[in-house]
Amino acid sequence: MTKVEAIKKVLENNGGIATWEIIYNEIEKYYPEAKKSKEWSAGIRGVLYREIKNNRNFKKIDEGTYSLADYDETKLVLYPKDLVTTKDVLTAIRIGQNEFRKKLIISLKRCPITGIDDTRILTASHIKPWTQSTNHERLDVRNGFLFSPTYDRLFDRGLISFSNNKDLLVSGSFSEKILSRLNLRRNQTIVNLPIIGREEYLEYHRNKIFIHN
């Protein structure tokens, strides 16, 4: 199986669409040699970008999100219109995500890691990404955390995750020096992390998004 075929299989098994983190985590199932080289991730990106440039097999949906070429983008919209362009889809997603953020702010109020409660700088983080979720999951407050921007970025990129016991999980690929500067440590308990009702979503994040190595 080629890298192109392997990427196609990953996308097919995730409903025709996936984030980079999902692709990175699952490509070895179909291409066992995928991570043998030092620059393996750049190699995977290069293959996917080449296919998109040549209008073959894949298309870019949004930053860090790719799909099969024939993927129906209206699946990403809460209330699809009869005709919708890629720009319309992204606008509709942003509107839906803003609705989700408002619900999450009312429910959670602050970042559980920093305690910051200034809503101007808090980010609504989906646990199971919007692209992989059903419409119910997309607006379900249990499918989200309210994080300060840095921690949102780490969580979204799969560099951190959490156990159902509120313990911080850190990717083996993440620098210990940066971790220390963020005042975080592996397996520390995030006491204020809201877990109840989020267990299944977190299991998805740990299995699909979190980059173990």
103 in the same domain as 19: no
Cα atoms found within 13 Å of the Cα of residue 82, Cβ hemisphere only: 0
134 in the same domain as 95: yes
99 in the same domain as 143: yes
170 in the same domain as 110: yes
Residue with tokens 């984030």: 19
Give residue 4's pLDDT: 95
Which residue among 14, 40, 71 closes a domain? 71
Which residue among 21, 49, 71 closes a domain? 71
Q: What is the mean pLDDT of the chain?
A: 93
Digit-coded pLDDT (tens) for 103-140:
999 999 999 999 999 999 999 999 999 999 999 999 99
Range of the domain at 120: 75-209
Over 90: is that where the pLDDT of 89 sits? no
Number of domains comprising the chain:
2
Answer yes or no: are the C-beta atoms of 17 and 71 closer than 8 Å.
yes
Q: What is the CATH number of the domain that holds 7?
A: 1.10.10.10
93 in the same domain as 47: no
Digit-coded pLDDT (tens) for 15-47:
999 999 999 999 999 999 988 888 899 999 999
Sequence-distant (6+) residues with CB within 8 A of 78 are 92, 96, 135, 138, 139
Query: What is the DSSP secondary structure assignment for residue 197, as one 8-state letter?
Result: T
